[in-house]
Structure 1
Amino acid sequence: MSGSPSALRFLNDRAALEALLQHEAITRAQLEALVGLSKPATAQLLSRLEKAGLVERLGRREVGPGPRAQLWGLKADAGFAAGVDVTRQGIDVEIADLRGNTVAQHLAPAPAGTTSSAATAPGPTPGSGPGPTPGSGPGPTPGSGPGAALGAALAEACAQAGISVDRLAHVAIGTPGSVDAVSGRLRYASDVPAWTNVNVLQAIGAVLDVPFTIENDVNLVALNEMARGSAQDVRDFVLLWISERSVGSSVVVHGGLVRGATLGAGELGFTPVPDLAREPLPGVHRFGDLLANSALLTLAGSHGLQAVGAVDAVRQSLGRDGGFLTDLARRIAAGLAAVVSILDPELIVLGGAVCSTGGPALRAAISDALAEFVEPRVRILPGRPDSDSVRAGAVQAALVHAREHYFSAGSSLGDS
Structure 2
Amino acid sequence: MVRAINRRSVVEAIAHHGALSRSQVARAVGLSKPTTSEVVTGLLAAGLIREAGSTHGTQGPKAVLYEVNDSAAHVIGIDLGRRWVRAAVADLSGRIIARHDERARLRSNQTLLDQIGDVARTVMREKGIDWPQVAQVVVGSPGVADPVRGVVMLPANLPGWERQGMIESIRARFEAPVKIENDVNLAALGELTQGHGRQTGDFAYLWIGTGVGLGLVINGRLHRGAHGLAGEIGFLPITADPEFAATRWPRWFASPAVQEATDRLAAAREMTNPPTLRTVFSLARKGDPLAREVVDVVAGLVARAVSTVAGVVDPEMIILGGGVGHNGDLLLHPIEMALRSLTPLSVQVVTSALGTDAVLHGAVGTATSAAWDTLLAESATSEND
Q: 1:272 aligns with which of 223, 233, 237?
A: 237
Which of 252, 258, 266 does residue 290 from structure 1 map onto?
252
8 Å CA contact 2:156, 2:250 repeated in 1: no
Which residue does the alignment assign to 1:260? Answer: 225
Give the TM-score normalised by structure 1.
0.76
Query: Partner of 1:393 in structure 2?
Result: 362
Relative to structure 1, is the Cα distance of residues 110 and 326 closer, same or farther in structure 2, using a 3 angstrom cutoff? closer
| Contact 1:248–1:267, Cα closer than 8 Å, also in 2 | yes
The secondary structure found in structure 2 opposite 1:387 is helix
Q: Return the alpha-carbon distance in structure 2 between the equivalents of residues 193 and 323 of structure 1.
A: 31
1:344 and 1:257 mapped to 2: Cα distance?
15
Deviation at 1:173, TM superposition (A): 0.6
Moved more, 232-241 or 362-371: 362-371
1:212 aligns with 2:182: no
How far apart in 2 are the matches of 1:302 and 1:177? 34
Q: Counterpart in 2 of 1:241?
A: 207
Per-residue deviation at 1:31? 1.8
Segments of structure 2 that go 5 or more residues without pairing to the other structure are none
Q: Secondary structure at the match of 1:219?
A: helix
TM-score normalised to structure 2 length: 0.81
Aligned partner of 1:126 in structure 2 is none
Q: In proportion to residue count, which structure has more helix?
A: 2
> In 1, distance between residues paired with 2:254 and 2:237?
14
Q: Which amino acid aligns with 2:204?
A: V
1:177 is displaced (CA, Å) by: 3.0
**1:174 aligned counterpart, secondary structure:** strand
Spell out, residue by residue over 1:94-150, the C-alpha distance to the aligned partner (whole angstroms, 9 max, x if none).
2222111223334467556447xxxxxxxxxxxxxxxxxxxxxxxxxxxx6555443
5 Å-filtered alignment, 1:15-414, equals 15-61=9-55, 69-89=63-83, 91-107=85-101, 110=104, 113-114=107-108, 145-179=111-145, 184-189=150-155, 191-192=157-158, 195=161, 199-243=165-209, 245-275=210-240, 285=245, 288-292=250-254, 296=258, 298-300=260-262, 306=269, 308-317=275-284, 323-359=293-329, 362-414=331-383
Alpha-carbon distance, 1:374 to partner = 3.0
| Residues 52 and 413, structure 1, Cα contact 8 Å, conserved in 2 | no
Report the 3-state secondary structure (helix = DSSP H, G, I; strand = E; otherwise coil) of the residue aligned with 2:307: helix
Q: CA deviation at 1:171?
A: 1.2
The residue that corresponds to 1:13 in the other structure is: 7
Q: 1:113 to 1:69 in 2, by over 3 A?
A: same
Answer with 78-87 or 254-263: which moved more.
254-263
The alignment partner of 2:198 has SS state of coil
CA deviation after TM superposition for structure 1 residue 208, in Å: 3.4
Asked if 2 retains the 8 angstrom alpha-carbon contact of 1:146 and 1:200, the reply is no
Q: Secondary structure at the match of 2:215?
A: strand
Q: Residue type matched to 1:253 in 2?
A: I
Measured in 1, the distance between the counterparts of 2:176 and 2:155 equals 25
User: Residues 55 and 65 of structure 2 are in contact (CA less than 8 Å); yes or no, is this contact kept in structure 1?
Assistant: yes
- Which range is displaced more, 326-335 or 150-159? 150-159
Give the secondary structure class of the aligned counterpart of 2:14: helix
2:345 is paired with a residue of what secondary structure?
coil
Q: 1:45 to 1:267 in 2, by over 3 A?
A: same
Alpha-carbon distance, 1:355 to partner: 2.7
Partner secondary structure for residue 50 of structure 2: strand
Q: Is the 8 A contact 2:54 2:63 kept in 1?
A: yes
Structure 2 Cα separation of the partners of residues 173 and 106 of structure 1: 14
Letter in 1 for 2:9: A
Per-residue deviation, residues 7-45 of structure 1 (Å, max 9, x unmatched) = 3x4443221111122234233343222112344443333
Amino acid paired to 2:139: I
Residue 261 of structure 1: CA displacement?
3.2
- State the distance in 1 between where 2:205 and 2:28 align: 35
The alpha carbon displacement at 1:189 in A equals 4.0
More moved, 200-209 vs 315-324: 315-324
In structure 2, relative to structure 1, the CA distance for the partners of 1:284 and 1:163 (3 Å cut) is closer
State the SS of the aligned residue for 2:93: coil
> How far off its partner does 1:395 sit?
0.9
- Label 1:298 to 1:151 Cα distance change in 2 as closer, same or farther (>3 A): same
Q: Distance in 2 between the 1:51 and 1:373 partners? A: 61
Once residues 46 and 80 of structure 2 are traced to their aligned partners in structure 1, the CA distance between those partners, rounded to angstroms, is 35
The residue type equivalent to 1:285 in the other structure is: A
Give 1:293 deviation, angstroms: 8.7
Larger CA deviation: 103-112 vs 75-84: 103-112
Q: Structure 2 CA distance, aligned partners of 1:201 and 1:49?
A: 34
State the 1:64 CA deviation. 7.4
Partner of 1:272: helix, strand, or coil?
Answer: coil
Looking at structure 2, the residues matched to 393 and 316 of structure 1 have their Cα atoms a distance apart, in angstroms, of 32
Deviation, 1:363, is 2.0
Which letter does structure 2 place at the counterpart of 1:225? E
Measured after TM superposition, the shift of residue 172 of structure 1 is 0.8
Q: What is the CA distance between 1:389 and its match in structure 2?
A: 2.3
Change in Cα spacing, 1:242 to 1:63, as seen in structure 2 (3 Å) is farther
CA gap of 1:73–1:10, structure 2 versus 1, over 3 A, is same
Give 1:18's aligned amino acid. E
